[in-house]
Structure 1
Amino acid sequence: MPAGQRKRVWIDCDAGLDDAQGLMVALTSDSCDVVGISVVFGNVAAPEVAKNVARILSLCDRNVPVYMGAQGQLLGKPMQPCDFHGTDGMGDAPDADPPASSIHVRLAPGAACVKMAEAAADSPGDLKLIATGPMTNVALACLVDPAFPSHVGTLHAMGGAEMKGNATPYAEWNFHCDPEATQVVLTKFDSIQLLTWEASLRNALPWSRLRSWSEKGTRRAKFTAATMGALMREADAGAPKSAGEWIICDPLTFIAALDPSTVASIRKASCRIDLHDKERRGQSIFDFDKGGKVQVLEQMEMTKVSQMLERGLT
């Protein structure tokens, strides 16, 4: 891509507060054009994800086509939504501007996996695909169009655990939600940049940073303060899930995709998913000894990360 050219970006997400914050970074960036957003079940049910995405688009005054994607995993039992981000996935702050009651979801026609594949085929090698939810839509796109992985310029994903999961003792949430879909994607793509759960822990920010931004008084800052309020209060109280540092997960994936200079170091590995062991189902099994096609983010340039987050959230 020539220097200075705006990046074509497709976002596949299960928004989710951290997905929403990544969306805000991308939608307010002057370096990319978000050509489509596909929603997938995960943090909340897919229709609720679509409403959350529409709310962020309204907040950022952007008009991007949103496509309904998978509402369940390829195989296995239906997943129960995660309540870490609140019952609505947006911190249970329905009155924050724009209020949830004001949002009318207008889905673009067509299946997410088909439209994703078409967007990649429109300009092969040019599209950045950012996937921060379960891999179901991406796997379906691989099956709908076998050329899809080669048409995507780069795939940037959040998922997997190098040692210990956050959904089970073994599995990270996104990979846990659809292990078979994850294995399809790992098999079909020749190169994947992956932010694991441990990478999120290694590249956290202090809660004080978020508090200072949320006090700026802008519309996005007020929205951030409202939707992140419960987590910030729990951090103040020393609650286990919020104590310590602000673990920013999905926004790191967005930032690494939008500005590669924010990536300080990576390790190459191969990765496969445990699909058979009942207890370990969804576990990501990495082999760093021989390298491989998965580029696991190690460290990021946190000063640059912080600057991009501040621009997006305020």
Structure 2
Amino acid sequence: MGSSKQKVWIDCDAGLDDAQGLMVALTSDTCDVVGISLVFGNVAVSQVAKNVARILTLCDRDVPMYMGAEGQMLGEPMKPTDFHGTDGLGDAPDADPPASSIHVRLAPGAACVKMAEAAAATPGGLTLIATGPMTNVALACLVDPAFPSHIGTLHAMGGAEEKGNVTPYAEWNFHCDPEAAQVVMTKFASIQLLTWEASLRNSLPWDRLRSWSKKGTQRAKFSAATMGALMREADAGSPESSGDWVICDPLTFIAALDPSVVTAGRRASCRIELREPERRGQSVFLFNSDGPVQVLQSLEMTRIATLLEQSLT
């Protein structure tokens, strides 16, 4: 039975949305998470390690995690935002399991190398879910040119079809390392991409999260504590948190693990703007039937809400 499970590798920067996605994957009975690679993004990569270790403890899972890139391939290091809190998990260090109780155990080896090795060693293909800057994934392509061919489909969160969320043109993950995003967009034959606009279109009411948080389980209490600041900002009418809950990364996780939730997508080719400073990191899509990128448009949110709720019980 275990051999039939979907083999999954996760590459993430462990902010609040990554944490929700990790809980879905780590509690799923249909997939086997074989490795997690850590990348800078929402917070510094050293803090990402602490956050992933905390989620693994919360889910009672022992999955090898590997230290990855601490900055972009070229250019100046990016400064993390505090949207997810200064620690990336909503500044709730006392939520069970408390941050002070977590011991970070990194598996030996570079994330990009171990990712490529795992893909080459997985019969039937490895499912790769990438929800942070694309640096580790791009480096794996350079370490092993055959790496993309060992991945059936890359499931990624990144890019913007029209308007970015960090500049007028660029989405955060692609903006953090545009060169890496360009490598990834040109190396893989099949990419399922959740853009910023797709995240906005496929949101959930905050009341859903509030109702789940009252379940009383450890994961529900942890979610309530770590998401508490964002929920309070939404109640106060904060421009960044008002309206619906924009889920982002968990949508990428669920679309990878349960393809039935994808109800519409558009095929495209994608290049990343690297030369014009004002537009650096912009994802430029050419929509065509032969493109390697499936740009997600709409998702079955009832099913997605069910899976998110199950991950907290």
Note whether the superposition's TM-score is higher than 0.5: yes
Q: List aligned pairs for 1:118-157, cutoff 5 A.
A: 118-157=117-156
1:196: which partner in 2?
A: 195
Q: Deviations over 1:120-162 (max 9, x none)?
A: 0002542000000000000000000000000112210000000
How far apart are the structure 2 equivalents of 1:188 and 1:313?
A: 36
Residues paired across the two proteins, number: 313
Runs of 4+ in 1 over 3 A off after TM superposition: none
Q: Which amino acid aligns with 1:232?
A: M
Q: Which amino acid aligns with 1:264?
A: T
User: 2:38, 2:65 within 8 Å by CA — same for their partners in 1?
Assistant: yes
How far apart are the structure 1 equivalents of 2:306 and 2:92?
A: 26
How far apart are the structure 2 equivalents of 1:152 and 1:286?
A: 22
2:112: which partner in 1?
A: 113
TM-score after normalising by structure 1: 0.98
User: 2:13, 2:42 within 8 Å by CA — same for their partners in 1?
Assistant: yes
2:184: which partner in 1?
A: 185
How far apart are the structure 2 equivalents of 1:106 and 1:5?
A: 28
Q: List aligned pairs for 1:32-181, cutoff 5 A.
A: 32-181=31-180
User: 1:124, 1:153 within 8 Å by CA — same for their partners in 2?
Assistant: no
How far apart are the structure 2 equivalents of 1:289 and 1:11?
A: 29
Q: CA deviation at 1:85?
A: 0.2
Q: Which amino acid aligns with 2:60?
A: D
User: 1:124, 1:152 within 8 Å by CA — same for their partners in 2?
Assistant: no
Q: Which amino acid aligns with 2:237?
A: G
2:308: which partner in 1?
A: 309
Q: SS of the counterpart of 1:205?
A: coil
How far apart are the structure 1 equivalents of 2:137 and 2:123?
A: 16
Which range moves more in the overlay, 281-290 or 23-32?
281-290
Which range moves more in the overlay, 111-120 or 284-293?
284-293
Q: SS of the counterpart of 2:160?
A: coil
User: 1:267, 1:288 within 8 Å by CA — same for their partners in 2?
Assistant: yes
TM-score after normalising by structure 2: 0.98
Q: Which amino acid aligns with 1:272?
A: R
How far apart are the structure 2 equivalents of 1:288 and 1:147?
A: 26
Q: List aligned pairs for 1:221-240, cutoff 5 A.
A: 221-240=220-239
Q: CA deviation at 1:5?
A: 2.2
2:211: which partner in 1?
A: 212
RMSD value, Cα: 1.3
How far apart are the structure 2 equivalents of 1:71 and 1:205?
A: 32
Q: Which amino acid aligns with 2:250?
A: P
Q: CA deviation at 1:289?
A: 4.5
Q: SS of the counterpart of 1:279?
A: helix
How far apart are the structure 2 equivalents of 1:82 and 1:73?
A: 16
* Alpha carbons of structure 1 residues 267 and 79: separation in structure 2 relative to 1, 3 Å: same
1:285: which partner in 2?
A: 284
User: 2:72, 2:176 within 8 Å by CA — same for their partners in 1?
Assistant: yes
2:258: which partner in 1?
A: 259
How far apart are the structure 1 equivalents of 2:148 and 2:288?
A: 25
How far apart are the structure 2 equivalents of 1:219 and 1:271?
A: 41
How far apart are the structure 2 equivalents of 1:45 and 1:159?
A: 19
Q: Which amino acid aligns with 1:92?
A: D
How far apart are the structure 2 equivalents of 1:291 and 1:278?
A: 30
* Alpha carbons of structure 1 residues 124 and 144: separation in structure 2 relative to 1, 3 Å: farther
How far apart are the structure 2 equivalents of 1:228 and 1:90?
A: 8
Q: Deviations over 1:90-132 (max 9, x none)?
A: 0000000000000010000000000000000002542000000
How far apart are the structure 2 equivalents of 1:82 and 1:238?
A: 20
How far apart are the structure 2 equivalents of 1:166 and 1:291?
A: 28
1:245 equivalent to 2:241? Answer: no
Q: SS of the counterpart of 2:19?
A: helix
Q: Which amino acid aligns with 1:121?
A: A
Q: Which amino acid aligns with 1:14?
A: D
Q: SS of the counterpart of 1:54?
A: helix
* Alpha carbons of structure 1 residues 180 and 124: separation in structure 2 relative to 1, 3 Å: farther
User: 1:54, 1:103 within 8 Å by CA — same for their partners in 2?
Assistant: yes
How far apart are the structure 1 equivalents of 2:308 and 2:262?
A: 15
Q: CA deviation at 1:197?
A: 0.2
How far apart are the structure 1 equivalents of 2:85 and 2:79?
A: 13
How far apart are the structure 1 equivalents of 2:73 and 2:48?
A: 18
1:8: which partner in 2?
A: 7
Q: What percentage of aligned pairs have identical amino acids?
A: 79
Q: Which amino acid aligns with 2:310?
A: R
User: 2:11, 2:129 within 8 Å by CA — same for their partners in 1?
Assistant: yes
Q: SS of the counterpart of 2:4?
A: coil
Q: Which amino acid aligns with 2:158?
A: G
